[in-house]
Amino acid sequence: MGKPNSEAGAPRHVAIIMDGNGRWATLRGRPRLFGHQEGARRVREIVEACPDCGVEYLTIFAFSTENWKRTQTEVAGLMTLFRRYITKEARNLRAENVRVRFIGDRLRLDKKLRSLMDELEELTAHCTGVNLTIALNYGGRDEVARATQRLAQDVADGKLCPSDVNEETLPRYLDTCVLPDPDLVIRTSGEARISNFLLWQSAYSEYEFIETLWPDFSAKEFAELTSNFGTRERRFGAVPA
């Protein structure tokens, strides 16, 4: 957790709920998957913009645990898109010194996709530039439940004393255990809800709910939002001296 200040500076960690792909495509008379394809292209532009904006960590919400409720055609198309994205972008990400991690429950994903995810994480493990985290089959409540199960098992095995379980202990069991909490969370498309994204980690995050649909979101708008973050007063429950 940060300290109270009057100028937050650049957000070290930005998380984005990339919403509006389907609506963007529908407005153009195209299939929803066309919007998802355009949205995937937008990711590269935002990743490339991070260094100039002072952003070290970028986390994007690609597919939620609730997204399985969509039509079988759309879900299958998204899974194909994820496989293609990883295959196509792997070398570019490594060349641009981007460290890639995935969070979420991988067990429901197909074997080929899981293998590609593992390969990309290994391929970029040495990279020291932007840290890109992709939330895939991710849900905040699911993450906390899985973390609690692991924590409970350690207590049962005598590795952890129940009296030592507190708000500092649980984060060590979360998918994001090696990441700092997000300073800024952006949601595109005009929706003003957090949709089960980084529930624990975003307790003190600043939020921006913007009207722009994700495929129209630009590096310029990203730079403006990260710049505006620097004007916010972040007190974390304290009172300015």
67 in catalytic set: yes
Instruction: Catalytic residue, from 67, 105, 196, 216: name it.
Output: 67
Q: Give the span between the Cα atoms of 125 and 128, in whole angstroms.
A: 8
216 in catalytic set: no
Q: Which residue has the tokens 């849900």?
A: 139
- Residue 56's Cβ-side half-sphere holds a number of Cα atoms within 13 Å equal to 10
Nearest alpha-carbon partner for 102 in 117, 90, 87: 117
Would strands 99-103 and 131-138 be described as parallel, antiparallel, or unpaired?
parallel
Residue pair 135/66 in contact (Cβ under 8 Å)? The answer is: no
Torsion-angle region of residue 235: left (phi > 0), alpha (psi -120 to 50) or beta? alpha
Q: Which residues contact 240 (CB under 8 A, 6 or more apart)?
A: 4, 6, 233
Q: Give the burial class of 117: count Cβ atoms within 10 A of its Cβ; 0-12 exposed, 13-18 middle, 19 or more buried.
A: buried
Instruction: State whether residue 55 is helix, strand or coil.
Output: coil
Sign of torsion, CA 82 88 89 94?
Answer: positive
Buried b (16+ CB within 10 A) or exposed e, 177-198: eebebbbbbbbbbeeeebebbb
Instruction: Catalytic residue, from 19, 175, 181, 183: name it.
Output: 19
Catalytic residues: 19, 67
